[in-house]
Amino acid sequence: MAITVAELLAEPQLGLSLIAGADGLGNRITWAHTSDLPRLWEWVTGGEIMMTNGLSIPADAPGQVELAHALVDAGASGLAIGEKMHAPALRPEFLAACDALALPLINVPYPLPFIAIARTVAESSLLEESRRLRQTARIYDLLRLTDTTGNHWQSLVQGVAAEVDSRLFVVDRRCLHPWHPDGEPLPAAVRAEVEPLARNAAAGSKTFRWHMVGDHHFLLVGIPTHANALLIVMPHAEPHPDAVVLLHAATVLGLELSRTVLALEGQRRVGAEFLLQAFEGRYGLAEMENQLAAFGVPAQKFLVLSMSSDDDGHLADIHLELWRHGFPAIVVRRLNKLHALVSAECPLDMLRHAVPADVRLGVSTPSTVNELQQALQESLWALGTAGHSAEQLVCYADGPSWLGLTSYEQGAAIVQRLLGPIMEYERGRQPDLMVTLRTFLDLQRSWAKTAEAMFTHRQTVIYRIKKISELTGLNMAETSTLAQLWFALQINEAMDFQGQAGRPPAPL
């Protein structure tokens, strides 16, 4: 076991004496550390005796009392002050605070070097180091020994918790929800205390510091393999778990999370291939139901989600966010959109929480396997509505109208009426007319700019626009015609899953 404060004071060659804090003589010392920086407690990881020449000690009584409280909150085992150096007068309020907090205040006789104290503590810690190595080895071995059936994650967390004699929680530092769907949620009292500290940790502040919740200490440790994963340690008793052992515990839990995420990535690829073929109608109903069940999505009541963002990187981990909150999803990326199937039990508030704020989201009505294509059309329509409004999330038939339209059927009818003749003409050909029309309208009806953008001759553009007029029966010189065609193009682009401008709308 580590040396206690009383045992350190009893070392005759040191000649240390106790000034205050006699109730803390049983505190165990894991290390001896020297610092003369103003915020002395920021260098405490738990169990250290802090040694200073006095520059770290404020001159006023309130500042000295604050120092005592901060050291105890951080988990310091004691404070040693060099005699005849730079320490100000120790105020009676400071001595009383050390007595009340059981913080041993030790006088280091002049000219005893601090290194003599550090050497004594280090020599007494050799047996403790051996114990630490054995404990660390057992923690790593839990990755191999933990039963892989049932709730594997919680079994591993409980095994590590038993080794460090603590209660452990692995949470997302952004929202403090369990990082793993099988994880234990934070108690409300702890969550209220951790929330501001987690925000500071996310901003880059030092996190390896003990804090107090009521009568209990807790510690925040970052999971090294996942930027937003945070390990919260609540020890059952004194002394606190060894800091190095806790870092290894965080690493072991991070390795398990990485293994889980790797398996989910393999499942995501398989699911994307299945979903793409399902959207194209290549599966029978019975086979689709079996596949959905295997992915954890109910076949009789699911939602189709369509998402887009100006930053494609924000779409990459949405399936992981949904899984972490207990809702497995099947996802597929198609061009600049992400499409997903998730249980209809997933609340809209959860979708808003799991999806980044700049991602636009269209949600279908609850559907069954024989309504999959229709649900996809609904989600695309809702996404188009979101893209043309201030709403982040739009549910089909519940969201605001899109330029007067409220349903996919209305939009499809407009597309068929205005663009259908062009699409039918180009069936089996390159969609030169559709691409030309879109480019022509995007470039403010400039013949020269359209020709330059399409690497073709100006007369070719003129010919294609004239052909569009013949096919649709519309006068391309009229503003109302151009407005209708632009509107139809926007609808078609939003609803077109394949991303092919020349493909006619799917049958309703």
Q: What is the DSSP string of 214-283?
A: TTEEEEEEE-TT-TTEEEEEEESSSSPPPHHHHHHHHHHHHHHHHHHHHHHHHHHHHHHHHHHHHHTT-S
pLDDT at 76: 92
51: Cα separation from own chain's centroid: 39
283: Cα separation from own chain's centroid: 35
Residue 232 backbone class (left: φ over 0; alpha: ψ -120 to 50; beta: rest):
beta
pLDDT at 143: 86
Residue 19 host element (H or E): strand 17-20
Model confidence, pTM? 0.64
Which residues, in sequence order, are CB contacts of 261 under 8 Å at separation 6+? 226, 320
pLDDT at 498: 47
Residues 426, 433: contact at Cβ < 8 Å? Answer: yes
| Residue in this structure with the two tokens 């966010």, named with its chain if needed | 321
pLDDT at 424: 86
| The amino acid at 499 | G
Inter-helix orientation angle 243-279/126-145, to 10° = 20
Choose among 336, 402, 391: nearest CA to 358.
391
Report how far residue 335's alpha carbon sits from residue 18's, in angstroms, rounded to the nearest whole number: 72
pLDDT at 318: 93
372 burial (CB, 10 Å; 0-12 / 13-18 / 19+) is buried
Choose among 284, 259, 87, 85: nearest CA to 67.
87
Three-class SS of residue 169? strand
Q: Return the C-alpha torsion angle 483, 488, 489, 494, nearest 10.
A: 130
Q: Reading across the β-sheet that carries 329-334, which strands appear in turn? A: 329-334, 337-343, 302-308, 360-363, 393-395
Which tokens go with 287? 């086979």
| Residue in this structure with the two tokens 């007369």, named with its chain if needed | 459
Which tokens go with 22? 């006699």
Residues 397, 407: contact at Cβ < 8 Å? Answer: yes
Which tokens go with 99? 């007595």
pLDDT at 9: 93
Q: Are strands 360-363 and 393-395 parallel, antiparallel or unpaired?
A: parallel
Which tokens go with 181? 């769907």
Residues 155, 211: contact at Cβ < 8 Å? Answer: no
Low-confidence stretches of the chain (pLDDT < 70) are: 1, 127-128, 147-150, 200-208, 399-411, 494-508
Cα separation values, 472 from 8, 86, 459, Å: 95, 92, 20
Cα separation values, 221 from 159, 166, 179, 431, Å: 18, 13, 14, 56
| The amino acid at 42 | E
Which residues, in sequence order, are CB contacts of 238 under 8 Å at separation 6+? 28
Read out DSSP for 49-99?
Answer: EEEE-STTS-SSHHHHHHHHHHHHHHT--EEEEETTSS--PPPHHHHHHHH
Mind spelling out the 3-state secondary structure of 267-314? HHHHHHHHHHHHHCCCCCHHHHHHHHHHCCCCCCCEEEEEEECCCHHH
Which residues, in sequence order, are CB contacts of 315 under 8 Å at separation 6+? 307, 308, 309, 333, 338, 359
DSSP-derived letter for residue 42 is G
Residues 334, 499: contact at Cβ < 8 Å? Answer: yes
Report how far residue 500's alpha carbon sits from residue 177's, in angstroms, rounded to the nearest whole number: 41
Residues 472, 421: contact at Cβ < 8 Å? Answer: yes
**φ, ψ for residue 137, nearest 5 deg:** -60, -40
Q: Is the peptide bond before 347 cis (omega within 30 degrees of 0)?
A: no
Residues in the chain: 508
Report how far residue 500's alpha carbon sits from residue 477's, in angstroms, rounded to the nearest whole number: 27
Choose among 290, 245, 238: nearest CA to 137.
245
